[in-house]
Amino acid sequence: MSGIDTVLCDLDGVVWLAHQPIPGSVDAIAALRRSGRRVLFVTNNSFALLADHEAALAGIGVPAAGDVVSSSMAAASLVESGERVLVAGGPGVAEALQTRGVDTVLNTGQPVDAPIDAVVVGMHREFDYDRLAVAADVVRRGARLVGTNSDSTYPTPNGLLPGGGALLAAIASASGATPVVAGKPEQPMADLVSSMVDGVAGPSTPRMLMIGDRPETDGLFARRLGCRFALVRSGVTPAGSPSPHSAELRVDADVADLAEVARRLVHPEREAQ
């Protein structure tokens, strides 16, 4: 774990559960920053506005202006300015697309007649049969299907709830299309993170550490970036379950929570003892 100067930190299941901070996480982030390391928050949460992500972090004592990277931002990189996009997602998706210069149409469940270039899907609680039917119809008529992420669930203090990936799977099944996914662990998110860290999109170096609770998302994202991966057991992956370390997935640290990762980074001499 030596040589790490940039920490990529998932939010749900690592920093908080439904915006309730996981014990020790706020102090851990502060300790990482005091040690001179940059901390970026890399989340597949596509629903929230960027300012809402930053405000929620500030509300628990974590300044985060300019340090949040969301799957909505990654999805927006897959469409071009001037294209017409059906938004099957929350306000964060619409914001990212509009920042990109895209003409957005909100999926309300009413028929859409005008040509649509792409359907972008993210988590939204208004999803219902009519919205599913409209999105699938638009895709069958030739629109590209883009998912902000493929996470089937997300963790809360009361257990797992369906995630944006579950909604994407429904639209993909009903339309017969194969979606392009933007968020972790896919390349669009990797390019976005690399451009924020290094100024250019492309392969990174082992000096970054990805901290996450979902091996198939955060762990594979670290592999794509070519960086280290710390698995925490405070979210989707429960304590006591087998280690996912394998030939395909390297786990550099398998620990209880973010506080333990920070301790190992900031005070490595204690590991030697």
- pLDDT tens readout for residues 217-227: 999 999 999 99
The answer to whether residue 77 scores a pLDDT higher than 70 is yes
Q: How far apart, in whole angstroms, are the C-alpha atoms of residue 261 and residue 79?
A: 36
CB atoms within 10 A of CB 177: 17
Average pLDDT in the chain? 94
User: Which class for 268: exposed (0-12), middle (13-18), buried (19 or more C-beta within 10 A)?
Assistant: exposed
pLDDT at residue number 271: 58
135-149, pLDDT tens digit by residue? 999 999 999 999 999
CB atoms within 10 A of CB 141: 11
Residues known to be catalytic: 10, 12
Q: How far apart, in whole angstroms, are the C-alpha atoms of residue 75 and residue 44?
A: 10
Residues whose CB is less than 8 angstroms from the CB of residue 64 and which lie 6 or more positions away in sequence, other chains included: 41, 53, 54, 57, 58
29-53, pLDDT tens digit by residue? 999 999 999 999 999 999 999 999 9
pLDDT at residue number 206: 60
The answer to whether residue 62 scores a pLDDT higher than 60 is yes
Q: How far apart, in whole angstroms, are the C-alpha atoms of residue 158 and residue 49?
A: 24
Q: At what angle do helices 258-266 and 25-34 cross, to 10 degrees?
A: 20
Range with lowest mean pLDDT among 11-25, 76-90, 197-211: 197-211
Range with lowest mean pLDDT among 29-38, 77-86, 176-185, 198-207: 198-207
Q: How far apart, in whole angstroms, are the C-alpha atoms of residue 271 and residue 261?
A: 11
- Ordered structural domains, the chain, with CATH: 6-44+185-272 (3.40.50.1000), 73-181 (3.40.50.1000)
H helix or E strand, kind and range, residue 255: strand 253-255
pLDDT at residue number 42: 98
pLDDT at residue number 269: 65
| pTM for this model (two decimals) | 0.91
Q: Confidence band (pLDDT; 50, 70, 90) for 248? A: confident
The answer to whether residue 200 scores a pLDDT higher than 50 is no
3-class secondary structure, 146: strand
